[in-house]
Amino acid sequence: MQVRNTKQKQVVTKVIQEAECPLTVHEVLARGQKMLPSLSLATVYREIGRLTEAHELQTVAIPGDPPRYEAHSHHHHHFKCTGCDKVYEIEGCPKELKSLVPKGFKPVTHDLTFYGLCKACN
């Protein structure tokens, strides 16, 4: 079973790589359709599913929001503006974090999300 290189895949990948912030499925669809108007929602879901399984995408889940997706690059965290609802990337990660985990537990990874006002809304 071989993987084919289709326009749809190129478009979805491109949209996510060029995004300045994590995108929802519908945002990916909207941006993708500017390049390829026939792009369908089902295809976006399928492609995002593939990319996520291949660990080329990361899911950013924020309570109350639909999931967002971003290119899997280096380890980082997020800031969600409660004013304009945009999600920003935050660099850095304190080493001490792991010390919060109780003895006997084995932490593998973690998510950290800040909420508040971004530069523009503040």
CA distance 35 to 45: 17
- At its nearest, how many Å lie between DNA and the CB of residue 36? 7
For residue 101, what is the DSSP state? S
* DSSP states along 54-94: TTSEEEE--TTSPPEEEE--SS-EEEEETTT--EEEE----
Binding footprint of DNA, residue count (CB under 7 A): 24
Task: Point out which span in 15-23, 28-36, 38-46, 88-96 binds its own copies (CB under 8 A).
Answer: 88-96
Contact between residue 47 and residue 41 where contact means Cβ atoms under 8 Å apart: no
- At its nearest, how many Å lie between DNA and the CB of residue 6? 4
Binding footprint of its own copies, residue count (CB under 8 A): 39
Instruction: Report the residue number, 59 or 82, with the smaller CB distance to DNA.
Output: 59
Residues that bind its own copies in the complex, under the rule CB under 8 A? 59-64, 67, 77, 79, 82, 88, 90-94, 96-97, 100-119, 122
